[in-house]
Structure 1
């Protein structure tokens, strides 16, 4: 039993020494950190890595600051990093800026409605045509417009680049279509 009491006393003595050492380390850390702070009645300022002083804010002010830097008309509904960057540019600082900004943005109704554009919801991109004049044609039959045209249709050809239009009346026979191709379209496509 005596051995146990001695052991308990020894452990208590060791714990007290550890506590004193911890208090000494805490004291050193406190004085090391206090160099970065500046008190100007009634505000506390913290010196950042960029040597700019920013006002330390209370928890009650955080939501209003985040609203102005994220959700207002000049906020822009940006993501966490950009919102924190705007907070820092506005001259504010608090220890849990990133965590609070993430929580605020995840509750933002406008950001929830817009959401991210994923690969599944993104539209396929259509390639832009790089063509010369008279390389690509759009051809279509139009009509009949009135009974006086005797049922004739109009064959319309439009160049995609120059928007040049050529039309001819046809009675749906291949000869009129072939005539349009021979006289108007194919001679312009010759590179000779």
Structure 2
């Protein structure tokens, strides 16, 4: 997500023409608001993009937090999305997190 934020903020593109074209196409789904990267969602207007450390916090908070109920991976990913957060590997990370949880 760093190349996306860098392109939106500074207009910096990769040197490879193929990667530059791909980055331009992908960035149409993103925007910067007050220095934070957001993905334009389908059902929710904007989803804040998280880095891997923050993503682990979000998974932990939903799965084990005050309102947590130890849900499965897909349901966990859905709940994090409803909280307004996003990262590219959210579904794989949620599944792996739920499988590693002690019952």
TM-score by length of 1: 0.43
**Could you list the per-position Cα deviations for residues 102-126 of structure 1 after superposition, in whole angstroms to 9, with x for gaps in the alignment?**
22112212x3xxxxxxxxxxxxxxx
Q: Which has the higher helix share?
A: 2
- Aligned partner of 1:61 in structure 2 is 54
**Could you list the per-position Cα deviations for residues 147-173 of structure 1 after superposition, in whole angstroms to 9, with x for gaps in the alignment?**
xxxxxxxxxxxxxxxxxxxxxxxxxxx
Give the 3-state SS of the residue equivalent to 1:45 in structure 2. strand
Shift of 1:48: 2.3
Q: Does structure 1 residue 105 correspond to structure 2 residue 90?
A: no
In 1, the alpha carbon distance for the partners of 2:44 and 2:100 equals 33
Structure 1, unpaired ranges of 5+ = 1-22, 112-192
- Aligned partner of 1:40 in structure 2 is 33
Equivalent of 2:70, from 72, 77, 85?
77
User: How many correspondences in the alignment?
Assistant: 89
Q: Which runs of 4+ in 1 moved over 3 A?
A: none
- Aligned partner of 1:90 in structure 2 is 83
In 2, the alpha carbon distance for the partners of 1:28 and 1:50 equals 27
In 2, the alpha carbon distance for the partners of 1:64 and 1:39 equals 22
Asked if the contact 2:73/2:99 (under 8 Å) is kept, the reply is: no
In 2, the alpha carbon distance for the partners of 1:87 and 1:62 equals 9
TM-score by length of 2: 0.76
Who wins on radius of gyration, i.e. which is larger? 1
Residues 25, 50 of structure 1: alpha-carbon distance in 2 compared, 3 angstrom cutoff: farther
